[in-house]
Amino acid sequence: MTLDLFASGALERVDLPDAEIYYSPSVDWGANPDLLLQDLISQIPWRTEVINLWGKEHQQPRLAAWFGDPDARYTYSGLSLNPLPWTDLLSSLRSRVEALSEASFNSVLLNYYRDHRDSMGMHSDDEPELGKNPIIASVSLGERRTFVLKHRFKKDLKSVQLPLDHGSLLLMKGATQHHWKHGINKLSQPCGPRVNLTFRRII
Ligand SMILES: O=C(O)CCC(=O)C(=O)O
Ligand SMILES: [Mn+2]
């Protein structure tokens, strides 16, 4: 990793070709991360989404929820989501994320990985409503799960494993989504819950 500090001094650049990714393992969220995790698990109206992949319906292997400004509608994998209104907790996390990432966000997708069986398939966040070079800020709480990155075209590049810590912030920007896919694999051993929040700007 090379050091490339934002004004806040909290984020380090992850050294990957064709990508602009920053990471801080431990951010001051203004509250105890254990309590944040508990509050999110108990307060968010979690849903199992059914998505359409190649004409076939599948249940997503995790729970999800979508919050944002009223006009921030989001469509992916044949699913069109209407945002729920910001809660105080999500607004305060958004303010902190905006200050650290020097960007503004009008929505957040939350993912709840209940245990080792929950996962997210490899994908790029490249939906048209995110714009050409989206900035995505990803907050992780709970069990440390590994964020896997794989180059979309340079097949000789090994996949990269980035364990995401409890209370961490990961920022993806620039051309990252054009060149890299990412995902969270299932694990073979039992593990605790993890909540991930990805702040986005829908345009
Ligand atoms: O859980 C994670 O860290 C990944 C989330 C993600 O890639 C997404 O919501 O698009
Ligand atoms: Mn993603």
Identify the residue whose C-alpha is closest to ligand 1 atom 8.
Answer: 198
Average pLDDT over residues 108-124: 97
Ligand (nearest to CA of 64): 1
Q: Residue 4 above 50 pLDDT?
A: no
Predicted confidence at residue 54, as pLDDT, reads 87
Q: What is the mean pLDDT of residues 140-163?
A: 98
Q: Please state the atom number of ligand 1 nearest to the C-alpha of residue 164.
A: 3
- Cβ of residue 107 lying under 6 Å from some atom of ligand 1: no
CB-ligand 1 contact for 138 (6 Å cutoff): yes
Radius of gyration of the chain (CA): 16
pLDDT confidence of residue 6: 56
Domain ranges of the chain: 12-200
Neighbours of 45 (CB within 10 A): 8
pLDDT at 51: 84
| Per-residue pLDDT reduced to its tens digit, 82-102 | 899 999 999 999 999 999 999
107 pLDDT band, cuts 50/70/90, is very high
pLDDT digits (tens, 9 = 90+) for 35-60: 999 999 999 999 999 888 889 999 99
pLDDT of residue 21: 98
Q: Mean pLDDT score of the chain, rounded to an integer? A: 93
> Ligand 1 centroid vs 80 CA: distance in angstroms?
17
For the segment(s) 12-200, the CATH number from 1.25.40.10, 2.60.120.590, 3.30.70.3270, 3.40.50.620 is 2.60.120.590
Q: Is the pLDDT of residue 132 over 50?
A: yes
Residue 194: nearest ligand to its CA? 1
Is residue 37 within 8 Å of residue 195, measured between CB atoms?
yes
State the pLDDT confidence band at 1, using cuts at 50, 70 and 90.
Answer: very low
Q: Does residue 7 carry a pLDDT above 70? A: no
pLDDT over threshold 70, residue 153: yes
Task: Record the pTM.
Answer: 0.94
Q: Which of 150, 148, 125 has its CA nearest to residue 200?
A: 125
Tell me the residue ranges of DSSP E strands in the chain. 12-14, 20-24, 50-53, 56-59, 63-68, 74-76, 79-81, 107-113, 120-123, 136-142, 145-151, 160-164, 168-173, 180-184, 194-200
